[in-house]
Structure 1
Amino acid sequence: MSIISGLNKEFESRVRLGMMSVLMVNDWVDFTEMKNLLQVTDGNLASHSSALEKNNYIEVKKEFVGKKPRTSYKITTMGKKAFQEHLAFLEKMMKQ
């Protein structure tokens, strides 16, 4: 068994790590705020968020506020658990 086998491959990207970190401490975060916090392009954020959504790690809400579309993100219970396990394994690796 590899030393890194306990790491979650879905969190290898710095963008996904950033998204999950932001969502661990915030309820809902909208697209623009997340984009600004992570300093990424629209397309970059959209592709990473859809990958996390596909794995049921985040929930994506699309709505209209007036006539403007708004996309928001929230971490799921499954996402929170998976991310905590990922972080715990990183800590365990650093202590070895």
Structure 2
Amino acid sequence: MTVADRAEEGFNATIHAPNRLRICAMLESADQVEFGLIQERLDVSASVLSKHVGVLMDAGYVEQTKAVRDTRQRVWLSLTKTGRRAYQAHVAALRAIVGEAPDEVRRSAE
């Protein structure tokens, strides 16, 4: 299997959008992350984050849990098993793209 084949196999256009990639990266490192924390870290409005989360939920990659905490309703996000596999495959595809440049490309960069 060539580098291009490996990259194409795992590349995921849904996850690849910068904010969605960052959301998945945050969720991959924890069981659940509060919506407000993700919003703060990404420095986006609630509506922008909601739109990206909606795309990931529609794909079956993210799920949300609502809970009351300190008398306020909080939304917690987490990757589904499918989402975790898709994110990890996408990261592997990106690594294949950037990590295994043909020799002639490496030589010209030096």
Q: The TM-score by the shorter chain falls in which range? A: 0.7 to 0.9
Give the alignment's Cα RMSD to 1 decimal.
1.5
Task: Give the C-alpha shift of residue 67 in structure 1.
Answer: 3.6
Query: Secondary structure of the residue that 1:64 maps to in structure 2?
Result: strand
Bigger proportion of residues as helix: 2
Question: Matches of 2:97 and 2:68 in 1, distance apart?
Answer: 44
Correspondence for 2:52: 48
Aligned 1:64-83 pairs, distance under 5 A: 64-83=68-87
User: Does 2:8 match 1:23?
Assistant: no
Correspondence for 1:92: 96
Which deviations, in whole Å up to 9, do the C-alpha atoms of 1:49-87 show, x marking residues without a partner? 111111111111122235411111011111110011111
**2:8 and 2:93 in contact (8 A); partners too:** no
**Normalization by structure 1: what TM-score?**
0.88
Correspondence for 2:66: 62
